Structures are given as C-alpha cells and as structure tokens.
Structure 1
C-alpha cells in the first residue's frame, strides 16, 4: 500500500476531490492535514509517507526534516513555487518533485487591479467611515495618466500591463536579470522605478536571490501618496517598513494578498487604516 499524505489543506478541499477515490482504487492510503504545522510535527506526520502532496508553499520541507524521512519517494507540489523545499537535499535522497500544470494568471491579474483601484480610491477608509456613520467624501485618484511600475515582467506582468493600457496608464518595469527582453515598455533600474511610480506592483517569484528585494530603503524611495501592491509572495518585501509608511501617511495605500507566514496570525497592518488585505486569494 502506498501512503500519501496531504499537508496544508487549510480549506479542506482535498477531502471532496473526486480524484481521491481514484487513488484509493490504486491501493493508496490517504491522510489529509488541514491545520498549519512545522518542524517536528511535519516529521511525525510524514514518518510513514511514500508521497507527500503540498498545498501551495504552506509547509516547509527543510534539509533536517527530509533527513528524517528515508521512505519518502515523491513530493507533489500544487503550484510552481519551491522556495519552501530543500531541493538539493531532495535530490540527494532521490525524492522526485512534481509541480502542477496550468496557471492562475488571470486570477492574479484581476485581483491585482481590484487592489490597485481599491487602494487608489481609498476604499478601506471609505468603508470604515460609513460603517461608523461618517459621511466623508474623499475621491482618491484616477488611474489615467499615472505610472505603474511592475517588479518583474513575466506572463502575469504582461497581462497586467495590457489591462493598465486600457486605463491609459504609463507602464514601466524592472527585470531581475537587468536585461531588456522583447517587451515594448520602458525598463528602469529598480531605484528609479520605486521613486517615480504612482503604483508599484510586485510580480516575481520568491527565490533566494530575491528574498527581501523590496527592503526598507527601497520602500522609503516611494513617492508620497503612492500605492504598493503585492500579489506575489510576502517574503519579497519588508512588511514592517511598509506598515510604518502606511501608518504615517507617506503611502496612500497598499493591497496585500500574501504574507511571510500564512495563515496570518499576527496582523502587522492592524493599525493601518489605508490597507486592503486578502487571504492569498
């Protein structure tokens, strides 16, 4: 019998998957964990596993954990991110890693613009005022004529840029490679992009060389009254500094969909009235 363990199914979607019965018909024993876990709890859950299915990047498989799992043969990862897996150690143990096909690109593009518009139009503040019976009309800002700075220029960013053109925004980008590709938009140094953009939107993968790429100094370069959007990964920026810049009013707003640790337990943005938060949608 093949033992399959599912980790990180916070929404309990796997239990209703029609594919579960297909696996059971193949003589597979399946266990599903829906609560967050780390360290020794992960080791304990996987001690008899032949295959582990990871939902997103919610559970880290470090070198220390993998060394305790001599029977593990395969890691099946939903999505394409692998920053939470020690791939070098997995290769040493001949653990095969698979990634799911397809993309959630259209969803990311739509959410990005929902957060951009919501932040520029100051929707969090309007919502709070109306809930507290205060009628205060602060119109916010139109997107037309504003500069959108894209951190990264992959498939998602290209779609974001296309939508931005419908709003008559000027679009610029920074590429981690520092090289200009086949894009027709302007490529800028990261510091210049941060200084001159009305909206900065992050669209790069969380790889070791980009962890914390948008640090405190980069955030401090942003224009007063500008907006930051992160629908990529929380580990790409200094969230504490972002929170400070929101609270002191330097930034008009922010839209944040991802966090360094998920699910979000300690909300670092709880005192920022001008932030839109979504739970990694």
Structure 2
C-alpha cells in the first residue's frame, strides 16, 4: 500500500510517519500533534565544543513554529480537490481520445496538436491518480457516468466539424482553468494564514500549489490553441459553448460532493 503524502510538514520527516487506516490525511493530524519540529530540521548533532551557528545567527526558518495540523474543513477541501480534479482530467482525456479519430481522418494536419493535448491530459490524470492513492481519497462515485458523457461529447463535436470540436475544447478548458484558479486561491490563503501565524509550511504543500499552477497553465494553453484553430467560428458558438460550460459546472459541483 503506498505511503500517504504529508502536505504540511517537511519531506525529511515523511519516512517516520504512521500510515493512515482509511481516513484521508488522518496521519497528518496525528503526526503533527506528536512530532517535535527539531526532528524534521536537525540532520547532524551539534558539536558541543563549538558555538552553534543557529544561536549566533538565527535564521527565520529555525524560528518558525511547527506546522499546524489540518482542520477538518481543510481536510475535506483537499479531499474534494483531489477527487474533482481527477474526475475532470479523466473527462478531458476521454474527450481528446474520442475527438482524435474523426478529426484526423478529415484533417490529418491536426494529429500533432491533438496528440500533444492528449499527452498532457494523460499526464494530469496520472498525477491525480497518484495523489488519490497516496491520500486514500475515493474517486467520484459517478466515474462511469462521466466516462460515457465525456466520450460522447468528444466524438459528437468532432463529427460535427473541426470548429465544433475546438469550441468544445474552448468551453471545457475555460471552466477547468477557472476552477483551478479558485483552488489555488484557497490554498494560497491557507499558506498565508500559516505564515502570518509564524508556522512552517512544508515543501510538499507548496509543491501541490505549483503542480496545480502548472496544470492550469497547460489547460489554458489548450484553450488558446482551440481559439487559434477557429473555435469561435462554430455555429452557433454561443449556444454550443454555453451548454458545454454549464454541463462542466454541474459535473464539477457534483464530483466535489459525490
């Protein structure tokens, strides 16, 4: 069974943390309430014959308080974040997979673009699959339904036209990019609160923020590429993108909770 990722403490302390049973992030709360900060920051014992550099020149890092454990609401938010992001990346992967055969049959020059976008989406899905497993977070119960709907959406828009397929990408990536932005804002508010209170923030938690930023930027790259390939020439553009965006918002809302 893979070891859970402990987001709020330094990576060096991960090897000694107990494994959770079934509750997401349970070991995080238990570990941070019992492990002294010194165990995570001290790698070599000081030489008693020489003055300690940290005493002579205390650095801001050594003066920080130990990381705070996650509150129940923060735990619920992170579990929801991983669940909905995994579902979204699954849907995006299936949309591009279903769009590829009809599109490249009619317009072979689109093959490299579609392959590039699909490869990035598959990488995003792999990232969240790994995080779900490490945190013992269950995927959405509607996984099979989203799989069918995403495949159908990708295939049907590609059969309609290249413009319709690109409009689908534009709509989906607009909603996904905005959703990632909202998640990043919440995580940064958590980091700001901990830092303002003088508590340390683990590198793995910061790494999660950077991962979301990278994935968001790649999703917005897909949005730009869709617009460049005539997404807004789809007829009727406003209706097609409006329906797809509304469907994405509904799927996000449900996947966060179910």
TM above 0.5, yes or no, is: no
Question: Which TM class, normalised by the smaller chain length?
Answer: under 0.3
Q: Which has the larger radius of gyration?
A: 2
TM-score by length of 1: 0.21
More helix by share: 2
Higher relative contact order (CA 8 A, sep 6+): 2
More strand by share: 1
